[in-house]
Amino acid sequence: MLVIFITSILIALGLYLVFSFSNGKTKSNRKLDNLSLFDSESEVISDMEGLEKITKNKLKDEREILFLQDVPEELISEQSENFEGRRKTFSIVLSITGLFMILSIYFYPLELGSYSLLEDAEVFESFLNGNKEERAKDKESFKNRYLDYMVKNQEKSNHIYALAISLKNLEEFNLSRLAYQSLFINHQDELSGEILAEYTQVLYFSEGRKFTEQTKEMLALALLKNPDNPIALTLKGLQYLGERNLDQTVIQWTKAASLITNEREKEELKIAIKALNNRKNQ
């Protein structure tokens, strides 16, 4: 912020100096023009033949008096001062206007200016890139900024989703849940089955691996939007497992395994299916 402010001041000062000390004339040149004309006429009078020297000098004196009287010194001084005053006033006004425009552009809107956004980005980046111990230390301060950001940026669903998925991947499920909740409240109709399945997964883990009524309802909605989502199918299998319905668990997990693209996750699910089948046959 300090750098931007100093830069703005320097730009405004530069405008003032340019317009205050430009190469334009800062006072009337009428007197100088008259003196130049007098010099020219003096040369012409000196070259005139047939006139005595005393007559020539008298003519020169008369012309000099005439030129000097043409523009009184007081008028010249007054004009110069008025012009200089107007130039300085214009320079000051232009400089202030330039400073105001720079700061207005930089801090618009005032409540959520670019500097505030920059601060948010720095706080978010620091938290998301920190290790588990660093995140635990900074969690409360991050949470306050995080909640404030979501309130002020409800319409920016892509930004909020980026935070939600990043926090989910870090297993910060309670924080991730807040972002998914904001998306669900403000953009429910726009959410795909995949995002709803992710939200269900976050709810499940944030509740200590329990299927609350909210989690069950979200899972049903996710499957309604996309019956072939592997995350939702895996969760549905877990729900059946908790209800001791092993047959339905195997069915859901077998379908999920056929849709999973990650080979490691697919292999882990197949091992779980095999273990369930062995358990059923005992």
Question: Got the DSSP string for 182-227?
Answer: HHHHHHGGG--HHHHHHHHHHHHHHTTS---HHHHHHHHHHHHH-T
Per-residue pLDDT band for 112 (boundaries 50, 70, 90) equals: very low
CA separation for the pair 48, 240 (Å, rounded):
125
Place of tokens 């007098």: 38
Per-residue pLDDT band for 108 (boundaries 50, 70, 90) equals: very low
Residue 219 has pLDDT above 90, yes or no: yes
The pLDDT value given to residue 160: 95
Better pLDDT: 217 or 51:
217
Q: How many other C-beta atoms lie within 10 A of the C-beta of residue 256?
A: 23
- Domains of the chain and CATH, by start: 2-110 (no CATH), 111-206 (1.25.40), 228-282 (no CATH)
- 79-100 burial, b for 16+ CB within 10 Å, e for fewer? eeeeeeeebeeebeebbeebbe
pLDDT digits (tens, 9 = 90+) for 227-257: 999 999 999 999 999 999 999 999 999 999 9
Are 229 and 260 contacting, i.e. CB atoms less than 8 angstroms apart? no
Sign of the dihedral defined by the CA atoms of residues 181, 184, 186, 187, in that order: positive
Residue 120 has pLDDT above 90, yes or no: no
With a CB cutoff of 8 Å and minimum separation 6, the contacts of 198 are: 164, 165, 168, 180, 231
Where do runs of H (alpha helix) occur along 108-172?
114-129, 132-152, 157-169
109 preceded by a cis bond (ω within 30 of 0): yes
Are 253 and 270 contacting, i.e. CB atoms less than 8 angstroms apart? no
Distance of CA 21 to the CA centre of its chain: 36
Are 204 and 235 contacting, i.e. CB atoms less than 8 angstroms apart? yes
Residue 164 has pLDDT above 50, yes or no: yes
- 179-198 burial, b for 16+ CB within 10 Å, e for fewer? bbbbbeeebeeebebebbbb
The C-alpha torsion from 16 through 20 and 21 to 25, rounded to 10°, is 150
Better pLDDT: 39 or 171:
171
Mean pLDDT of the region 102-113: 49
CA separation for the pair 190, 184 (Å, rounded):
9
Tell me the residue length of the chain. Answer: 282
